[in-house]
Structure 1
Amino acid sequence: MSAQQKTGQCEVAWFSALCDDDYEFLGVPDPMLKSSWEHCRNIVLTAEKGGFDNILLPSGYSLGLDTTVFAAAIAPFLQRMKLLWATRIGEDWPPQLARRIATLDRVLGPNAAGTGGRLNVNIISSDMPGQAMPGHPRYARATETIKIVKTLLNGEHLSHKGEFYELELDPPRMTTISGKCPPMYFGGLSPDARECAAEGCDVYLMWPDTMDKVRETIADMTARAANHGRTLKFGYRVHVIVRETEDEARAYADRLVSKLDDEKGRAIREASLDAKNFGVQRQAELRGAADGDGFVEDNLWTGIGRARSGCGAAIVGDPDQVLAKLRAYQAEGIEAFILSGYPHAAEADLFARHVLPQLEHAPLVW
């Protein structure tokens, strides 16, 4: 059991909509909520003010803002919050990626204790834009990249001969504040994705699922990591709608999809580069298993997935219900939450006022 689990603490992160994913009415574009420097900056600053520990900066090739440029630009605005910076492996060269991570870590600055940096890395096993690679070699390439980046950022000489890269390099002069590779967060449900995470990553991220499936996935990933002589922490990415009463929360969920055209929703889902992966298929299965109101189990609503590829469900309820749901996930082994809601700045403020003060939370520690 980790120190975080022993104390009952969890890391609570929010999400900045860098990839044109913010709405008042799901599926209805709003120029005021479209990804821009000003809008996404305001989401991040709302999360910082609200007390969140971390914020995910997502990455999409054709959608929204460049994640690296945004991360470097927002870093001087932040006094304490960590950044979970997403990077698409297929668009990078591992030694350059290592240098970029070290530079961002330095720009963001040290944690409160001065013991390390405030950068976390969300690894995405992506294709090159305009190309498609089957899952098995794509995840094999991601595994190689992770090993290369970790070796270089841990200050070690690299002598690597793999299927995709053959490199002989000294570590870059630019190091992270800690002198170590920052924690790597990674998600994926396919067998190849699970093996990649088990072998190289530090936090395995899950999208919304029923409690029995969460339990099953944690058990599987714990065993896979053990086969590599490793342990993992577990994170959970989910939307949230919290209001003073359950009726108000459900009414807001209904309002959110009240103008959604099903064909428009399908087009939004299929526009994503990950629209056909295992995780997306599982989110579709959840929608299919939900009741007439879109709930697949207590307080877990799948309506968001009608117009979103990827994380497609929300915890919906009053503050006590949302808190109870989060604590139930903690009891299964979840130590980190990445939350979001529509519109993102407004929902971050609501969660920060209604739920966050009741949670024992802090950045993950290693």
Structure 2
Amino acid sequence: MSQQQAQQDNNVKFAYWVPNVSGGFVVSNIEQRTDWSYEYNVRLAQAAEKSGFEYGLTQIRFASSYGAENQHESVSFSHALLAKTEKIKLIAAILPGPWKPALAAKQLASINQMTNGRIAINVVSGWFRGEFDAIGEEWPEHNQRYARSEEFIRSLRGIWNTDHFNFDGKFYQFKDYTLRPQPLPNKPVEIFQGGSSRAARDMAASVSDWYFTNGNTPEELKKQIDDIREKAKVNNHQVKIGVNAFIIARDTEEEAKAVLQEIIDKANIKAVKNFGDATREAGASTAEGEGNWAKSSFEDLVQYNDGFKTNLIGTPQQIAERIVLLKNIGVDLVLSGFLHCIEEVEYFGQKVLPLVRELEAKQAEQLQAKSA
């Protein structure tokens, strides 16, 4: 491997939230020049690919809530976007329960083959009970949902990598099962997951390739990252870290802060409160008695996954420096949300990403000089 290739592999990666669900990425009545249609999303995926984004994350919703009246299904939508792009990888969100591992394994193996390995998944254990009740799905208690997700992932890996696969779990069973075709051997289906509870972190430290965390300060993120990686080491496992961030990049810090303030000033108060109530109910079911949004203020909840907390809000230089700081505490990927997706993805690619790469290269040179 060349030194240049090694540097590229070590660079922080970028993903963008795919708006396959209506309502944009803030619970606010501010104008959002973002659309959930397929046509818009094709243009966005192509713009993101051209701008240097390696991944896009499609969402999974089964019921209208918090302004998301319309939802395209994640796996089929991801496949449709992959057909219109060349390099970017799409991460399709999947819920164990509605999805069974046999179907998911076959579906994803086919897409992997057809797209030269550009499909990944985000296994979502579920936090919104109302959605499961609405579609008649069982709702196990919190830790059991993560136990089911872990079995789901172990089943997928077994099906994809083993002939005559056998598995006797609490939730899933397989007997002498062989899948054809399996995913490409040199381009496996990457598995992402999220969650902040002890159960979520333990699952990531055992079976997942990537762990998504909600937005937070570098200090709080480092605590989570260190905890997960220490546990993964004990399990002889490696896991990469992605952090959610709502990015507001503008030519001046004043402009960026003004946009943030307008988003909060125009927040949909009822929708934010309803979302907050649902998250508190979900958090109360965890072993710790708190969940992903336990310490989120009203302002934090205006962005679904605490994206404001990561503080990628300011000038391109400020944002680039903060991204490199995140990398230095162990973040491998920034999952990015935007107000006006296409134009802001393009601005990010033109103004912010080159500065990130410059800072990374400079840091690599300094480390090399020290070790020489």
Residue 13 (structure 1) aligns with: 15
Residue 301 (structure 2) aligns with: 306
Determine which of 246, 249, 252 is the counterpart of 1:242.
249
Residue 294 (structure 1) aligns with: none
Report the 3-state secondary structure (helix = DSSP H, G, I; strand = E; otherwise coil) of the residue aligned with 1:148: helix
Residue 60 (structure 1) aligns with: 61
| Structure 2 residue 144 is the aligned partner of structure 1 residue 137 | yes
Q: After TM superposition, give the deviation of residue 268 of structure 1 in Å.
A: 4.8
Q: After TM superposition, give the deviation of residue 267 of structure 1 in Å.
A: 3.1
What is the aligned length? 337
Residue 101 (structure 1) aligns with: 108
| Structure 2 residue 128 is the aligned partner of structure 1 residue 118 | no
- Per-residue CA deviation, residues 50-72 of structure 1 (Å, 9 max, x unaligned), is 22111111211224111112112
- Per-residue CA deviation, residues 301-352 of structure 1 (Å, 9 max, x unaligned), is xx4x333433442521101110111000100111111111112222212211
Q: After TM superposition, give the deviation of residue 34 of structure 1 in Å.
A: 4.7
Contact preservation (8 Å) 1:51, 1:352: yes
Determine which of 193, 200, 212 is the counterpart of 1:193.
200
Structure 1 residues without counterparts, runs of 5 or longer: 110-116, 289-302
Contact preservation (8 Å) 1:72, 1:107: no
Q: CA separation of 1:151/1:360 partners in 2, compared to 1, >3 Å: closer, same or farther?
A: farther
Q: Distance in 2 between matches of 1:41 and 1:251?
A: 30
The 5-angstrom pairing of residues 209-248 of structure 1 reads 209-248=216-255
Determine which of 146, 159, 175 is the counterpart of 1:168.
175
Structure 2 residues without counterparts, runs of 5 or longer: 65-70, 361-372
Residue 346 (structure 1) aligns with: 343
- Per-residue CA deviation, residues 160-186 of structure 1 (Å, 9 max, x unaligned), is 111112211333112212366412111
Report the 3-state secondary structure (helix = DSSP H, G, I; strand = E; otherwise coil) of the residue aligned with 2:345: helix
Contact preservation (8 Å) 1:283, 1:312: no
Q: CA separation of 1:31/1:198 partners in 2, compared to 1, >3 Å: closer, same or farther?
A: closer
Q: Distance in 2 between matches of 1:89 and 1:179?
A: 26
Q: Distance in 2 between matches of 1:337 and 1:6?
A: 15
Report the 3-state secondary structure (helix = DSSP H, G, I; strand = E; otherwise coil) of the residue aligned with 1:59: coil
Report the 3-state secondary structure (helix = DSSP H, G, I; strand = E; otherwise coil) of the residue aligned with 1:84: strand
Q: CA separation of 1:338/1:176 partners in 2, compared to 1, >3 Å: closer, same or farther?
A: same
Contact preservation (8 Å) 1:12, 1:54: yes
Contact preservation (8 Å) 1:150, 1:181: no
| Structure 2 residue 335 is the aligned partner of structure 1 residue 334 | no
Residue 295 (structure 2) aligns with: 285
Contact preservation (8 Å) 2:30, 2:263: no
- Per-residue CA deviation, residues 263-310 of structure 1 (Å, 9 max, x unaligned), is 23223555789964779855452437xxxxxxxxxxxxxx4x333433
Q: Distance in 1 between matches of 2:225 and 2:275?
A: 30
TM-score calculated relative to the size of structure 1: 0.83
Quick one: which amino acid aligns to residue 174 of structure 2? L
Report the 3-state secondary structure (helix = DSSP H, G, I; strand = E; otherwise coil) of the residue aligned with 1:359: helix
Which of 158-167 and 309-318 deviates more? Answer: 309-318
Q: Distance in 2 between matches of 1:355 and 1:308?
A: 21
Contact preservation (8 Å) 1:240, 1:316: yes
